[in-house]
Amino acid sequence: MKILVIGSGGREHALAWKLAQSPRVKTVFVAPGNGGTAGAAHLENLALSEIERLADFCVAEDVHLTVVGPEAPLAAGVVDHFRERRLRIFGPTRAAAQLESSKAYAKEFMQRHGIPTAQHRTFTDPAQAHAYIAERNCALVVKADGLAAGKGVVVASTPEEAHAAVDDMLERNTYGVQHGEAGARVVIEDFLEGEEASFIVLVDGTRVLPLASSQDHKRLRDGDQGPNTGGMGAYSPAPVVTPEVHARVMREIIMPTVQGMAADGHPYTGFLYAGLMIDRQGHARTLEFNCRLGDPETQPILMRLKSDLVHVLDAAIDGKLDTLELQWDRRTALAVVMAAPGYPEAPRLGGAIDGLPAPAEDLQVFHAGTRLDGDVLRTAGGRVLAVTALGDSLRMAQQRAYSGVRQIRFEGMQFRQDIGWRALDKAQGRPKTPQGAQGDPGR
């Protein structure tokens, strides 16, 4: 059979890599793909992006299944269009994808259905937003409504920083100019302390199948310092998601979300990602929802998945998730993201990439921002590669991943040298400082 993956990042490379392992699959098309998917066995890039043309291609090539990677096609209604043409596709409808495409919608939904989250208010009027900041007089997080490509979240430790963020988003409409509707409204919420984790599940409309837990690193530099990014590394499983926390999240967040979407007339199918803040007592609150797999969380999660992903997605589309039990590699997986110089503010692209390690059973290099220029692989995006490894312990997975990183060369490359530090500190009994990234819409 033939499969189509929509997207061009590291998440999509990992999806295509995993789907191609199914014995039933002949070719996985990736639209538009990247330099890594261009040269891989059983993968083929497809220079298409328009929804109608993608649907036409699936009809002409008898594509069995389409998987949507990034958020923008979901918000544009790709699932609705494919379903109208009776094409099999895994993802939420445009209405259901509002959980990610509108932070205001998501907050109102959580409040309506009793899903734990930070105290918040939504504003379109700058004066009212400034008055609320003065009234709260505490650390806040200001989020541009809509999809803002990872640049619409400001963690404001002081009222002055919050006021400046509101001016950027509402007065100057910084994100609205660049990202459509983003910035027309802002959500201002209380800053939450604790430890973040990524909780991702598959949903078939009513039933839920959790994936392995994971935790990413959003800040650019070691020790969770520097600006927010789309993610500089991740690992799975995440020790902070204990069995007790897992059960509580399923009971208090995931199932009420799925049931609430159905009650609101928008049954949810697809990957559902809850970004969590977990306090010291093990109570989780929802920072945000994503209607897709996370990036870079996908890379270590799929490295550990032993089940046939095509079989899993078929069951989800057919409403039969209750018939499955996922099989996982007992080992830990860890991914280190290598970024272009100048990322995240102004990445400089076009540099030649050398020294990629050969794929191995315990090591894969997933491409994100790369392109082939003849025989030369070049940087083509802010996050360039995710070197992902398996190990019998987190420390061993970390060492294996960094051994791969050290072989790779491109001018000005950036990467953190401490991916996994929180879990290692937890294992060694050292206290952790709060993460405080408070969500990132651009993963």
CA 320, CA 312: separation in Å to the nearest integer?
9
Assigned token pair, 86: 């009776």
- Integer Cα distance of 74 and 121 in angstroms: 26
Q: What local confidence, expressed as pLDDT, does residue 303 receive?
A: 98
pTM: predicted TM-score of the whole model, two decimal places: 0.91
**What's the confidence (pLDDT) of residue 39?**
77
Burial environment of residue 313 by CB neighbours within 10 A (0 to 12, 13 to 18, 19 or more): buried
Asked whether residue 149 carries a pLDDT value surpassing 70, the answer given is: no
Say what the pLDDT of residue 179 is: 45
User: Of all helices (H) and strands (E), which one includes residue 135?
Assistant: helix 126-136
Check if the beta carbon of residue 229 is closer than 8 Å to that of residue 219.
yes
Distance from C-alpha of 388 to C-alpha of 214, rounded to nearest angstrom: 13
**Any bridge partners for residue 208, and if so which?**
203
Distance CA 115, CA 97 (A): 17
Model pLDDT for residues 162-197, shown as the tens digit of each residue: 999 999 888 876 655 344 455 578 999 999 999 999
Instruction: Tell me what the pLDDT averaged over the chain comes to.
Output: 92
3-class DSSP state of 32: strand
For the chain, percent of residues with pLDDT exceeding 70: 93
pLDDT cut 90: percent of the chain above it: 84
For 64, the 3-state DSSP assignment is: coil
Token pair listed for 256:
């009420």
Q: Which of 272, 313, 297 is nearest to 19 (CA)?
A: 313
SS3 199: strand
Q: Which of 332, 342, 364, 339 is nearest to 353 (CA)?
A: 339
Please check the confidence at residue 49 and state whether its pLDDT lies above 60. Answer: yes
Q: pLDDT tens-digit profile of 398-433?
A: 999 999 999 999 999 999 999 999 888 877 665 554
Least confidently predicted of 101-105, 316-320, 325-329, 424-428: 424-428
pLDDT on residue 269: 98
pLDDT at 350: 98
Backbone CA torsion sign across 162, 165, 170, 176: negative
Nearest-angstrom CA–CA distance, 7 and 32: 6
Strand order in the sheet with 65-68: 43-45, 27-32, 2-7, 65-68, 89-90
> Count of residues for the chain?
443
Alpha-carbon distance of 42 to 17, in angstroms, equals 9
pLDDT in tens, 77-132: 999 999 999 999 999 999 999 999 988 899 999 999 999 999 999 998 999 999 99
Residue-by-residue DSSP string for 206-244: S-EEEPPPBEE--EEETTTEEEE-S-SEEEES-TTS-HH
Cα–Cα distance for residue pair 158/135, rounded to 1 Å = 13
- Interior angle at CA 345, CA 144 and CA 7, nearest 5: 70
User: Hey, what are 274's tokens?
Assistant: 């809850």
